[in-house]
Amino acid sequence: MLVHAITANTAYEFAADVRTGLARSRQKELPSKYLYDDVGTALFEVISHLPEYGLTRADERLLRRHACEIVDHLDSPVAVAELGSGSGKKTRWILEALSRRERTFYYPVEISRSALAMCERELSDIDALSIVGFEREYLDGLLEVAAHRQRGQHLFVLFLGSTIGNFHRPAGIEFLTEVRRILEPGDSLLLGTDLEKPSAQLLRAYDDELGVTAAFDLNLLARINRELDADFDLGQFAHVARINHDARSVEMHLQSKRQQTVRISAADLSVEFFEGETIWTESSHKYSREEVFQMARDSGFACQTQWIDDQWPFAENLLVAE
């Protein structure tokens, strides 16, 4: 088994994104991808086991129950690329089903090196599986995978969990359209979408009693301190989860407890916060079942099949490139 991490220098981009997001005159914000450093990745693994957060378990249930059926929809030979693999635990069901049919090449694409390492450890016991990991942004990694595809080989892209929900709706369509441009007709995408559910249930999921989600959110400020030589006082910020009914989403914010000034040396930035002001760190959009079919059409796919979890409303959607 080969694990080959192709690294990218993201320090400059991180500083630039922090400077742009925190210099906004109205709503300050930071890209949610920066939540997932080594510490953030480990904290999210804990979140996925919390009783309030049923999304990951729903994702895993569907993959476990329907892996063979999903694989039966795929033409051979096939190579698997996963955008944001995490630990690879829930991907096991798909890869085991595929590797029983044919030798399988799996390409996890991650911005977290520790996640790629966890993925290797988690999946190293699967026979007839080769792993080549790319430490890249999603589209950059997928472009590299596509460049390595063999003649006649079909690409099967996994975009699991609720990651598409982190995009604003128009940006989500744009992202899926970019994925489609990289693929060839007949290639496929398994897209996870969290479905609409009561606000109280969502707030519990994104602001748990133990405070793990708060620690996950606050770690973004700690990361800026560590990597960009900033002086955020984490005790002066609080994690806040909000429902945005118009956008049909849950938003995560970090709220300043007082008026304060934060200096970020590597970004050449000094930021003023007033009491109650927030940094918007993540959105998680929720969808209707029917909406997914329209998203597919708008981005150049056809939604061929949809599987729905009966305990936590969540869908796995098999999209085929037209």
Specify if 32 maps to a domain. no
- What CATH number does residue 138 fall under? 3.40.50.150
Q: Are 218 and 226 in contact (CB under 8 A)?
A: no
Q: Are 176 and 312 in contact (CB under 8 A)?
A: no
Q: Which two tokens stand for residue 203?
A: 């707030």
For residue 314, give the H/E element and its range: strand 314-321
Specify if 17 maps to a domain. no
Those residues with Cβ within 8 angstroms of residue 215's Cβ, 6 or more apart along the chain or in another chain: 43
Specify if 154 maps to a domain. yes
Specify if 225 maps to a domain. no
**Structural domain harbouring 188:** 55-197+288-321
Partners of 277 in beta bridges: none
Please give the single-letter amino acid code of residue 223. Answer: R
Specify if 98 maps to a domain. yes
Specify if 81 maps to a domain. yes
Specify if 78 maps to a domain. yes
Token pair 């989860």 is found at 241
Q: pTM of this prediction?
A: 0.92
Specify if 304 maps to a domain. yes
Give the total number of structural domains in the chain: 1
- One digit per residue, the tens of pLDDT, for the chain of length 322 reads 334 444 445 788 999 999 999 999 899 999 999 999 989 989 998 999 999 999 999 999 999 999 999 999 999 999 999 999 888 889 999 999 999 999 999 999 988 888 888 888 899 899 899 999 998 889 999 999 999 899 999 999 999 999 999 999 999 999 999 999 999 999 999 999 999 999 999 999 999 999 999 999 999 999 999 999 999 999 999 999 999 999 999 999 999 999 999 999 999 999 999 999 999 999 999 999 999 999 999 999 999 999 999 999 999 999 999 9
